[in-house]
Amino acid sequence: MSVRRWATAAAAVVVLALIAVLAVHLTHPSRPVADGYKGHPASPTPTTSSPATPTPGSVAAAPSGSVAPTGVDDGSHPTWDPAAGEPAGAGQEPKVPNGEGTEPYRLPSTSPREPALTEVPAAAVGDHELVAGFPDHVVPVPDGSEVQSSSVSPQGQRVVVGLHVLSDDDPQELLDFYARRCEDLGWPVTRTPAPDGAPRMQCGFGPDSLTVTAPTLPTGRVGLSASGAFVVDAG
Q: Could you read off the pLDDT of 153-163 as tens digits, one per residue?
A: 999 999 999 99
pTM summary value: 0.54
- At position 4, the amino acid (one-letter code) is R
In contact, 209 and 202? CB cutoff 8 Å: yes
Give, as one character, the DSSP assignment of residue 88.
T
In contact, 177 and 170? CB cutoff 8 Å: no
Q: Give pLDDT tens digits along the chain (235 positions).
A: 566 776 777 777 777 777 876 766 666 555 555 555 555 555 555 555 555 555 555 545 545 554 545 545 555 555 666 666 666 666 666 665 555 656 666 666 666 677 888 899 999 999 999 999 999 999 999 999 999 999 999 999 999 999 999 999 999 999 999 999 999 999 999 999 999 999 999 999 999 999 999 999 999 999 999 999 999 987 6
| CATH number of the structural domain 124-231 | 3.30.310
List CB contacts of 74: < 8 A, sequence separation 6 or more.
68
Q: Hey, where are the domains in the chain?
A: 124-231
Cα–Cα distance measured from residue 225 to residue 147, given in angstroms and rounded to the nearest whole number? 10
- At position 69, the amino acid (one-letter code) is P
Cα–Cα distance measured from residue 55 to residue 70, given in angstroms and rounded to the nearest whole number? 18
